[in-house]
Amino acid sequence: RRTRGGWSVRTFARIAFTVLGALVSWQLLAMLGGSTVYPTPTDIVTSVELDAVLEPVGQTIRLAIVGFVLGVTASIAIGVLCVLVPRFEPIGLQLALLTYTVPVLALGSILATIWSAPATRITIAALFTVYTTVIGTIVGLRSADRHSIELISALGASRLGRARIIELTAAVPSL
């Protein structure tokens, strides 16, 4: 039987028992040998200060959420602009594609020399959301029912009113 990654359960169990056996052997050899040069695995685990690990993780998660919200907000605005102003669509799509194809390591290094670390992290998190959200917004806005658009136009709604009432509602599942 295979797991998702293509490894059999037997292979996975063999690797897990090998790692566990190595850790137990290391622990026993260090304890019985009385060596103070090499710490035991339990010494290593107990010496880790949990606050020192969790504080940066929390900060990174906060910055990622800020970047995500900013990226999605900007992406939805670009997608709406692409649909409302057809002349802007090629520029908006090229901008979205640029954010998708630029290597993050290269961009991160450049941004780190220009901005502070939090601003760089927020920007990179925002850039990860741009392409998929712009494409989803455009596809969703264009998936609005044509009969509903014709009806709301016949009732006197402006282009912006149609977008707000019909097209934005239709775009929500695509986001």
| Nearest alpha carbon to residue 63 among 128, 107, 113 | 128
Q: Tens digit of pLDDT for each residue in 147-170?
A: 887 888 888 888 777 777 777 777
CA distance 120 to 5: 33
The widest CA-to-CA distance across the chain, in whole angstroms, is: 88
Tens of pLDDT, residue by residue over 51-94, are 777 888 889 999 999 999 999 999 999 998 998 888 999 999 99
CA–CA separation, 51 and 123 (whole Å): 26
pLDDT in tens, 86-145: 899 999 999 999 988 888 878 888 888 998 888 999 999 999 999 999 999 998 888 878
Q: Which residues are paired to 2 by β-bridges?
A: 8
Whole-structure pTM value: 0.66
Are 21 and 41 within 8 A, CB to CB?
no
Q: pLDDT: is 107 or 172 the higher one?
A: 107
